[in-house]
Amino acid sequence: AQSVTQLDSQVPVFEEAPVELRCNYSSSVSVYLFWYVQYPNQGLQLLLKYLSGSTLVKGINGFEAEFNKSQTSFHLRKPSVHISDTAEYFCAVISLIQGAQKLVFGQGTRLTINP
Amino acid sequence: EPEVTQTPSHQVTQMGQEVILRCVPISNHLYFYWYRQILGQKVEFLVSFYNNEISEKSEIFDDQFSVERPDGSNFTLKIRSTKLEDSAMYFCATPARTYGYTFGSGTRLTVV
C-alpha cells in the first residue's frame, strides 16, 4: 500500500521569503503525485500534479514541485511567499495499479506567513 | 460554477441521529469518492463508489455508514447513528479531467 509523509506539520515563514514544503512517498508501483491547498474554512484545491514527463511541474499561485524518483520525494516550493499563501498544504499520491484510483493524503503542512 | 456541489455546508445533529450528506457532480461520473477530515487532522479516505457499487472502503467506513446514488445524478453519504467522533468535514470528489480529483467544498458535520 502507498503512503505519504509530510515531514513538517507547521512551517512559519516571513513574507517574501522562499519556502519548501517536504513530501516523501512510498509505493511499490509507479505513482501520480499531487499537491492540494486548503485555505481556512474552505475545501481542497489542486495546486499542481505530476503525471509524467518533466520532473519539475509548475502550478497555480507561483508554486512548483519537483519529482525525485530516487529519493521518492515531491517537495513543493515557492521563491517568494505572500500573506495570502497562509493555508494547509496536502501532498497526495495515486498508485498506478489497475482499478485503484484511491488518492492517499499526507498529514498536511500548515504554512503560516508572517509580515 | 463549482464542478461538485455539496449540501448542506454545515450540519449540526444530536448524537444518535441519522444524517444524510449530499453531493452533486456537474458531469456524469461513474467513479465517486467520500473523504473525511477531522479538525486539524489529515484527509482520510472513506469509500469509493463505481457504477452504483462500493469498489473500496476503509476501516473507518463501518456499518454505520452507507452510500447511495438515489436518482442517478446525486450521491449521498448516510451515517445511521452519529457519534461525537463523527464530527468532521466530509468531502465528496469525482475524477478530474486528467487524473486527480475535483473536490466539493465540503460539509461540516458537528455532532453534539
Residue with cell 465528496: B92
Average per-residue pLDDT in chain A? 91
The mean-pLDDT minimum among A5-9, A69-73, B10-14, B72-76 falls in B72-76
Q: How confident is the model at residue B13 (pLDDT cuts 50, 70, 90)?
A: very high
**Are the beta carbons of A46 and B31 separated by less than 8 Å?**
no
- Residue of chain A with shortest Cα separation from B45: A104
CA distances (Å), B35 to each of A61, B60, B110, in order?
25, 10, 16
Pairing of strands B107-111, B43-50: unpaired
Say what the alpha-carbon torsion angle A96, A39, A23, B5 is, to the nearest 10 degrees.
-10
pLDDT above 90: residue A84: yes
pLDDT above 90: residue A56: yes
Provide the 8-state DSSP code for B72: S
pLDDT above 80: residue A101: no
The A residues from 32 to 71 touching B (CB cutoff 8 Å) are 32, 34, 36, 42-46, 49, 51
pLDDT above 90: residue A23: yes
pLDDT above 90: residue A6: yes
